[in-house]
Amino acid sequence: MYYHDKRLQYPVRCESPDPLFARMLQQAIGGVEGEIRVCMQYFFQAWGNRAPTPKYRDMLLHTATEEIGHIEMLATAVALNLDKAPASLQEEGAADGIVGAVMGGGSARHAIEGTLHKHILSTGLAAQPVDSDGVPFNMSHIYASGNVAADMYCNVAAESTGRVLATRLYNAAHDQGMKDMLHFMIARDTMHQEQWLAVIEELGAEAALPIPNSFPQAKESQDHNYDFFVTSVDGTYPEGRWTRGPSVDGKGEFTVFRNEPMGEEPVLGPARPDSSAQAEQIGEKPAV
Amino acid sequence: MYYHDKRLQYPVRCESPDPLFARMLQQAIGGVEGEIRVCMQYFFQAWGNRAPTPKYRDMLLHTATEEIGHIEMLATAVALNLDKAPASLQEEGAADGIVGAVMGGGSARHAIEGTLHKHILSTGLAAQPVDSDGVPFNMSHIYASGNVAADMYCNVAAESTGRVLATRLYNAAHDQGMKDMLHFMIARDTMHQEQWLAVIEELGAEAALPIPNSFPQAKESQDHNYDFFVTSVDGTYPEGRWTRGPSVDGKGEFTVFRNEPMGEEPVLGPARPDSSAQAEQIGEKPAV
Amino acid sequence: MYYHDKRLQYPVRCESPDPLFARMLQQAIGGVEGEIRVCMQYFFQAWGNRAPTPKYRDMLLHTATEEIGHIEMLATAVALNLDKAPASLQEEGAADGIVGAVMGGGSARHAIEGTLHKHILSTGLAAQPVDSDGVPFNMSHIYASGNVAADMYCNVAAESTGRVLATRLYNAAHDQGMKDMLHFMIARDTMHQEQWLAVIEELGAEAALPIPNSFPQAKESQDHNYDFFVTSVDGTYPEGRWTRGPSVDGKGEFTVFRNEPMGEEPVLGPARPDSSAQAEQIGEKPAV
Amino acid sequence: MYYHDKRLQYPVRCESPDPLFARMLQQAIGGVEGEIRVCMQYFFQAWGNRAPTPKYRDMLLHTATEEIGHIEMLATAVALNLDKAPASLQEEGAADGIVGAVMGGGSARHAIEGTLHKHILSTGLAAQPVDSDGVPFNMSHIYASGNVAADMYCNVAAESTGRVLATRLYNAAHDQGMKDMLHFMIARDTMHQEQWLAVIEELGAEAALPIPNSFPQAKESQDHNYDFFVTSVDGTYPEGRWTRGPSVDGKGEFTVFRNEPMGEEPVLGPARPDSSAQAEQIGEKPAV
Amino acid sequence: MYYHDKRLQYPVRCESPDPLFARMLQQAIGGVEGEIRVCMQYFFQAWGNRAPTPKYRDMLLHTATEEIGHIEMLATAVALNLDKAPASLQEEGAADGIVGAVMGGGSARHAIEGTLHKHILSTGLAAQPVDSDGVPFNMSHIYASGNVAADMYCNVAAESTGRVLATRLYNAAHDQGMKDMLHFMIARDTMHQEQWLAVIEELGAEAALPIPNSFPQAKESQDHNYDFFVTSVDGTYPEGRWTRGPSVDGKGEFTVFRNEPMGEEPVLGPARPDSSAQAEQIGEKPAV
Amino acid sequence: MYYHDKRLQYPVRCESPDPLFARMLQQAIGGVEGEIRVCMQYFFQAWGNRAPTPKYRDMLLHTATEEIGHIEMLATAVALNLDKAPASLQEEGAADGIVGAVMGGGSARHAIEGTLHKHILSTGLAAQPVDSDGVPFNMSHIYASGNVAADMYCNVAAESTGRVLATRLYNAAHDQGMKDMLHFMIARDTMHQEQWLAVIEELGAEAALPIPNSFPQAKESQDHNYDFFVTSVDGTYPEGRWTRGPSVDGKGEFTVFRNEPMGEEPVLGPARPDSSAQAEQIGEKPAV
């Protein structure tokens, strides 16, 4: 179960509210690279963890719980960046003051409206669980496969795209408070990348491959499990680590195979009577 | 651009059609661990690839193109497994014959109907781009971040959950033809895991970390970038590779930090007039 | 604006409630071939209609309004089919009586539960705006392009897949009341197919093509606008009405063209500095 | 920020694992009436709260944090109910033992497979953030309008449908452990209904209406703001508290109004040239 | 069944078309607070209504039918606001005339394009069933639980967020015609809030609680059904109507309880063989 | 199975990158009228085709394969249009140079940011499988009904809305390279419209109707299958090809019917005990 402290994990300050930056920050809340995703992903991996030891369940809970605080920080940052935005278009000074200065032009009001309408209309100037285009986060992005090694790679993937996003936001930020918040979050993304890679290392690296390593590899085709398949019509292909030498898992040798049909043309035959296909598909005359 | 051969990459045969297995195979077509996902993910990574060399674009195209053939094989397998299913409930022998034998019970017809209605009703007994619960695939699962290392980890994640799924389907399969098809696809998943890990190795492994490695790490907080944050109320935590020793990227030392609020309680203040908040939020009396 | 009569457009009766059939009927309510779709599609086409005459707006309103009544009939049919289903598993006779008779087997209760849980849990035995797999209808399926000919083909498509679905439901129905309701709805689908085709005829058939016919065809490539493109690696292709003879619009001659690259390999070049790509993509050394 | 204790808020025990009940419990996790919804809704309402006092933000945080623990309990309950389910179809005793006993019939295996395939295939027998039909939770269901009274009604609505669902699950439960868990959660739903109603009372009940009460009611039409509009063609209507007497907010008098068009037929006129409408819509001849 | 009159319920006029306002109005059509939602919600509640009297079914039909007319008015308003928008960028005067005047700046054309592309590209300047960010309405927002009291609170919630949205649109409107249309719709929202609250009053207010009132409250935990649970680490909490005094339903006494684990750490144990977990989770050596 | 050539089907060149046009092009990639849709639709129709001859399967494969190349061209076009866009806001010259020139104003930077944030943040300046509003493509739009005539109308509908979109993009394009690419794609849309209409002609036009033509028309109601139903309250209706004369399929005569209730008011009766309805719905007193 869970507890809270109403203070934030790390300070969130914003000197120069920028409503467009608020919109960008939404990607880090409700985007597929965002914090709701990692938070819920770690929780579901923890809650469903089956293993002889509760060690990974425990570890996942620590980090999932930390991530709630990251959503909270970002939601606060969005609200602060909207702070000086006009709550309505009639409000005095809507296109002036700080916002006007930031925008620097006569069409400021409309540019803001064009970007912000959803925040004005639906939330009263607060964060939403949506991405920077207003698309709601969809929980199908919570990857929890029941295989801990697969899950760890999902987590590395999430933290890698997450840190890429966070550094882009850092590059886009003008406000010192925002930069400070992000430089903390980027550091946490570094650790989280490391953390999941550390688990993979602990799981034995090569020995963990191919995932799942509980499936006898003898049951998979031995003919093509380390072949790079070439599908170009002219048979050319780019050479690389993947075309020769020992495989990464140390269990095979990379080779190159020019892809070609080993199967036949599939023929499903006529449609079934009573299947409401067209009569010609069934091989009948049209019904009367 | 693209070409096709109407034959299949690998034989797809099914001796004992099993409509319930058809439903399961749908997860490998339209599930988030499925083949539409990897196919489209590799294509979009290829088409958007920016690099001094077209090498990775090229490689991605080979494998993306191969994956179209995998969707095709699975779609064929679904159709074949539905082959002896009743196209309608009036059809003679609906609950008998092969299907009845497979199902082995009087309520066979209803069990089939309960599971298959969507396939009967919407496709005339063919595959759909949906998962095994009938949920349509959503293209937000195509991860293509513009950072090749992040994308490779996304690909390893996709092929890991994909191979976990394929082995579960193999374990669920009774038909020899299905097992043969899957033992080929599992082998290809092995290679694809290896292939993306080979790129990561080529990108320098440690040197690639933290992702993105083009962002000066000096800009991230140096205080907490290799700290495991403990969020348990009693301060206990599970020890592991992630709590001490050199970090995986060789650039830091894992330590443990007991999480506590470094920020303050965020106070957004009263709602704006004209924001259609409740009067009490604005600090006004109700309007008349 | 709109009015209602609390009676149904056509009688909906059900002698032998069948909870599994209720589930199937959902496809005709919230499936992409269903009645919510056509109802809302005709409304949005009407409301946005721009033309020198209000004629098509008017006609669309008549049929859109009729379709509300079809959703109503189907929703009623779902409720009636659930009528004797157990509201909970504790309820006396849950697996017996009519339901048991219909199901005819000891595992009846679980089969019903397996299929009906959502209806039991979420609606108290009523219809929902979801398809037969429980997937909610998504309004992106409302096609209204602003081009009346394109919209009419969308409508023919909707009524064709709709009538295919309705006939499959008819084939699946055992109850005389359900068959009667469906034989009425299938007749309406016939008329609606005809109706949209009649508009296309009124729009001039050949003269309406290619859609939109307001775009000067001289602006499109004259080299390939009536060519069937062959993409098979061996150049074989199926002959048909589409490979020779005058085109359907009477404006060209069908020919066959073997597809080949006319463009070059696209090279996007290195990633931009500050784009959070991997250093190698930018052509830099990893940052420190 | 947040803390956790790895123990559960309330005991979750399951004597007789029932995989079908696991599926039902999913509705309480990822259904629109479920716990992810209330948890995230309260969090986003708290984080975006604008008011002269942090009181409601505080209160919302307490309950949002409690709700994480409810998702955790349900996720644990799902895993326990799947505990004896076959992990694969080859596994010894798949259709026997406890599962077989629960199912009580020869087609047990297929009924389980039909219901459980997604859990077997995608999670390795754990909970997912999806509803009982496998539809992923979509964050658009997080209602946080920036108006505290509107939000409180959203919360009452969520806890009312939530308690309805929980009692249906209680009625469906056979296992004593499950009943015990649910009897605790139902009690919490009672309190949460009460809690949000208490806030509404504190906000002044009548004085809070109509929501938002910061919009001068003088600006709304005075002609129809307390009229029940009758849309039946024959003008009949059901009498009730809403057709006469003082309005609930004490600011008006309920009356009945027979709806009729006050506006005109909207005529949008011809389509714009260059808008790719059909030529007839523009009032032109087809282009050549 | 249903009828229509091609005139509008209330006049919709627009003197100064504003394409950005068109975009905002979309939120009231296809947003979760919008008119499609209430229309369809009331219809599905009516069609599935089970009660000894048809009274509530009747009433719901009146208002659902009225709401179709509201979608129609808003769709008309969107079209009128797009009326002077450029249908394409080549169209003469695209950035000039009324639009230019409204926008008042050199980058007008691009600002319009940036905001309007979807309306230009997909509809030929008409309304769509999407929100102001272009996200299609999803029918999972149709709440119809089978419990009339729960449904009434869902309706109050819908009309409260709906009126909040409508007043924000009113505040954003510049055009007198738009203000007039909205001042009518806001009045209808007032009545609809009142109407559902009147039903709740008719259902007995206190006697209706807790919802569902047909579930014997004796079956819920008596220990915590009127306790405010405190989850702050330091045990502090905000006092309010919800921490002491009689409960709103008059059946209990509010008290405060400091939340703490009553359950134990859940231990799911090792993964099942054949479940495609990682070998370490099963407690085996990696397969060969 | 499939092959690729790394060159494009047709040249894609862009002299004057326009980031806003990139956003518009997204509609042709991931919009419901776009290329992913037709590509996947033709593939699934091919893979599930049941007929006495593989002819239509073959033909569909040719065109589906061609369409992959169209997605590729558009994805390349998006990347090229983003080529000179700022990768971050700090990047030198972000608001200057080509972009500044195109935008022509001081608020250029913000207008770009407002429109492009998602492309900057999530892809590093590349195409995504989303529409021009950033909404991901949803595979429920892949229509494949198992009835070839219904599918052909779905294809005509797709290519009609697709060509409408492409001509709107052509009208919006300023760059000669973009116009050239589009004039090729528009020509292909022409052919694809023709191609599916040619199949319909081959299927016998009138003989194909009503779809499905395998369902004995004698089973549908003979009373209303060629009646235009009038739903206006005053009985007026627009005359047209659909109100009199022989039906399009030559099997009936169009007539007009004034719609009126043929059914009765549906009465579902009281809610079931144990269904968690409100006590009043069951006809009981509230439980204690």
Spatial separation of the C-alpha atoms in residues A54 and A59, rounded to whole Å: 9
pLDDT at C23 over 70: yes
Peptide bond before residue B261 is cis, with ω within 30 degrees of 0: no
The pLDDT value given to residue D47: 97
Q: Is B202 annotated as a binding residue?
A: no
B–C interface: beta-carbon pairs under 8 A:
158
Spatial separation of the C-alpha atoms in residues E198 and A5, rounded to whole Å: 40
pLDDT at A122 over 90: no
Inter-chain residue contact D47 with A72, CB threshold 8 Å = yes
DSSP C286: P
Spatial separation of the C-alpha atoms in residues E16 and D284, rounded to whole Å: 27
Closest CA to F81 of F123, F127, F31: F127
CB-CB neighbors (< 8 A) of C149 in chain D: 278
Q: Select the more confidently predicted residue: C113 or A169.
A: A169
The pLDDT value given to residue F124: 85
Inter-chain residue contact A164 with C274, CB threshold 8 Å = no
Tokens of D70: 């409810």
Tell me which chains share at least 3 CB pairs under 8 Å with chain E: A, B, C, D, F
Question: At D114, is the pLDDT very low, low, confident or very high (cuts 50, 70, 90)?
Answer: low
One-letter amino acid at D72 equals E
Mode of pairing for the β-strands spanning C227-230 and C255-258: parallel
Which residues of chain B carry a pLDDT beneath 70? 84-119
Tokens of E175: 């055009």
The alpha-carbon gap from C112 to the nearest alpha carbon of chain E, in Å, equals 19
Question: At E87, is the pLDDT very low, low, confident or very high (cuts 50, 70, 90)?
Answer: low
Residue-averaged pLDDT of chain F:
89
Q: Is E160 on the interface with B (CB under 8 A)?
A: no
Residue-averaged pLDDT of chain D:
89
* pLDDT mean over E33-46: 98
* Known binding-site residue numbers of D for Mn(2+): 35, 67, 70, 159, 192
DSSP E strands: which ranges in chain F?
Answer: 2-4, 227-230, 255-258
Are the C-beta atoms of residues B233 and D5 closer than 8 Å to each other? Answer: yes
Which of A121, A128, A201 would best serve as a mutation to test chain E binding (most E beta carbons within 10 A)?
A: A121
Which of F276, F278, F282, F288 would best serve as a mutation to test chain D binding (most D beta carbons within 10 A)?
A: F276
pLDDT at F19 over 50: yes
Spatial separation of the C-alpha atoms in residues D153 and E76, rounded to whole Å: 31
- Which residues on neighbouring strands pair with residue C257, listed in sequence order? C229
CA-based end-to-end distance of chain F: 67
Q: Is D234 on the interface with E (CB under 8 A)?
A: no
Q: Indicate the residue of B10, B59, B69 with minimum beta-carbon distance to A240.
A: B59
CB-CB neighbors (< 8 A) of A217 in chain E: 287-288
pLDDT at E76 over 50: yes
Spatial separation of the C-alpha atoms in residues D231 and C2, rounded to whole Å: 7
* pLDDT mean over D213-227: 96
* pLDDT mean over F16-22: 86
Spatial separation of the C-alpha atoms in residues F233 and F238, rounded to whole Å: 14
Q: Is C70 annotated as a binding residue?
A: yes
Question: At E88, is the pLDDT very low, low, confident or very high (cuts 50, 70, 90)?
Answer: low
pLDDT at E132 over 60: yes
CB-CB neighbors (< 8 A) of A167 in chain F: none
- Per-residue pLDDT tens for B237-287? 999 999 999 999 999 999 999 999 999 999 999 998 888 999 999 999 999
Q: Chain B: residue nearest F129 by CA? A: B139
Cα distances from F208 to residues A269, A285, B50, D197, in angstroms, run 20, 10, 50, 61
The pLDDT value given to residue E235: 96
The pLDDT value given to residue F109: 46
Q: Indicate the residue of E71, E140, E147 with minimum beta-carbon distance to C124.
A: E147
Spatial separation of the C-alpha atoms in residues A176 and B8, rounded to whole Å: 58
CB-CB neighbors (< 8 A) of C3 in chain E: 2-5, 65
Mode of pairing for the β-strands spanning A2-4 and D2-4: antiparallel
The pLDDT value given to residue A206: 87
**Judged by CB atoms within 8 Å, which residues 85-104 of E form the interface with D?**
87-88, 90-91
Inter-chain residue contact A276 with C168, CB threshold 8 Å = yes
Cα distances from E266 to residues A259, D73, D87, E103, in angstroms, run 49, 9, 20, 61
Which of D164, D253, D256, D259 would best serve as a mutation to test chain E binding (most E beta carbons within 10 A)?
A: D164
* pLDDT mean over D160-176: 94
Q: Is F110 annotated as a binding residue?
A: no
Are the C-beta atoms of residues C276 and A171 closer than 8 Å to each other? Answer: yes
Peptide bond before residue E210 is cis, with ω within 30 degrees of 0: yes
Are the C-beta atoms of residues E125 and E78 closer than 8 Å to each other? Answer: no
Q: Is A167 on the interface with C (CB under 8 A)?
A: yes
CB-CB neighbors (< 8 A) of A56 in chain B: 238
Q: Is B189 annotated as a binding residue?
A: no
The segment with the largest mean pLDDT, out of A270-279, D112-121, E113-122, F119-128, is A270-279
Q: Which residues contact F189 (CB under 8 A, 6 or more apart)?
A: C210, F159, F162, F163, F166
pLDDT at D88 over 90: no
Tokens of C47: 């409301």
Q: Is E174 annotated as a binding residue?
A: no
Q: Which residues contact B204 (CB under 8 A, 6 or more apart)?
A: C280, C286
Closest CA to D68 of B237, E243, A65, A45: A65
Closest CA to A190 of B14, F237, F9, B212: B212
The pLDDT value given to residue E273: 87
CB-CB neighbors (< 8 A) of D149 in chain E: 160
pLDDT at F58 over 70: yes
Q: Map tokens 């658009």 to a residue.
A: D140
pLDDT at A100 over 80: no
Spatial separation of the C-alpha atoms in residues D282 and A282, rounded to whole Å: 44
The pLDDT value given to residue D124: 85
Cα distances from C135 to residues B128, C23, C70, C79, F197, in angstroms, run 14, 12, 20, 18, 32
Which of B116, B119, B220 would best serve as a mutation to test chain A binding (most A beta carbons within 10 A)?
A: B220
- The third-level CATH classification (topology) of the domain covering D19-83+125-207 is Ferritin (1.20.1260)
Q: Give the number of other CB atoms < 10 A from CB of residue C163.
A: 27
CA angle at A115 for the pair A114 and A121, rounded to the nearest 5°: 85
Inter-chain residue contact C231 with F143, CB threshold 8 Å = no
- Per-residue pLDDT tens for E161-192? 999 999 999 998 989 999 999 999 999 999 99
Residue-averaged pLDDT of chain A:
89
The pLDDT value given to residue C118: 63
Q: Map tokens 């010259």 to a residue.
A: F93
| Residue C104 backbone class (left: φ over 0; alpha: ψ -120 to 50; beta: rest) | left
* pLDDT mean over E208-225: 96
So where are chain F's domains?
A: 19-83+125-207, 216-262
Spatial separation of the C-alpha atoms in residues C154 and F158, rounded to whole Å: 8
The ipTM is 0.92
Q: Indicate the residue of B2, B88, B149 with minimum beta-carbon distance to C278.
A: B149
Tokens of E260: 């703490």
Per-position b or e across E14-30, b if 16+ CB within 10 A of its CB: bebbbbbbbbbbbbbbb
SS (H, E, C) chain B: CEEECCCCCCCCCCCCCCHHHHHHHHHHHHCCCCHHHHHHHHHHHHHCCCCCCCHHHHHHHHHHHHHHHHHHHHHHHHHHHCCCCCCCCCCCCCCCHHHHHHHCCCCHHHHHHHHHHHHHHHHCCCCCCECCCCCECEHHHCCCCCCHHHHHHHHHHHHHHHHHHHHHHHHHCCCHHHHHHHHHHHHHHHHHHHHHHHHHHHCCHHHHCCCCCCCCHHHCCCCCCCEEEECECCCCCCCCCCCCCECCCCCCECEEEECCCCCCCCCCCCCCCCCCCCHHHHCCCCCC
- Per-residue pLDDT tens for F92-150? 443 333 333 333 333 444 445 555 666 678 888 999 999 999 999 999 999 999 999 99
Residue count of chain A, please give it: 288
Q: Indicate the residue of A8, A189, A242 with minimum beta-carbon distance to B263.
A: A8
| Residue F135 backbone class (left: φ over 0; alpha: ψ -120 to 50; beta: rest) | beta
Tokens of E94: 């695209």
Q: Indicate the residue of E168, E274, E276 with minimum beta-carbon distance to B276.
A: E168
The segment with the largest mean pLDDT, out of C18-22, C221-225, D89-93, F82-86, is C221-225
Q: Is E137 on the interface with C (CB under 8 A)?
A: yes
Residue-averaged pLDDT of chain E:
89
Spatial separation of the C-alpha atoms in residues D155 and D158, rounded to whole Å: 5
Mode of pairing for the β-strands spanning E255-258 and F2-4: unpaired
Are the C-beta atoms of residues D183 and D170 closer than 8 Å to each other? Answer: yes
Question: At A116, is the pLDDT very low, low, confident or very high (cuts 50, 70, 90)?
Answer: low
- Per-residue pLDDT tens for F169-190? 999 898 999 999 999 999 999 9
Spatial separation of the C-alpha atoms in residues C173 and C81, rounded to whole Å: 11
pLDDT at D271 over 80: yes
The pLDDT value given to residue C92: 43
Q: Map tokens 């009124």 to a residue.
A: C202
**Judged by CB atoms within 8 Å, which residues 44-73 of E form the interface with C?**
44, 47-50, 54, 57-58, 61-62, 65-66, 68-69, 71-72
Per-position b or e across E155-185, b if 16+ CB within 10 A of its CB: bbbbbbbbbbbbbbbbbbbebebbebbbbbb
Tokens of B30: 């339209």
Tokens of B263: 């920020």
Question: At E19, is the pLDDT very low, low, confident or very high (cuts 50, 70, 90)?
Answer: confident
pLDDT at D113 over 60: no
Phi, psi of B126 (to 5 degrees): -140, 175
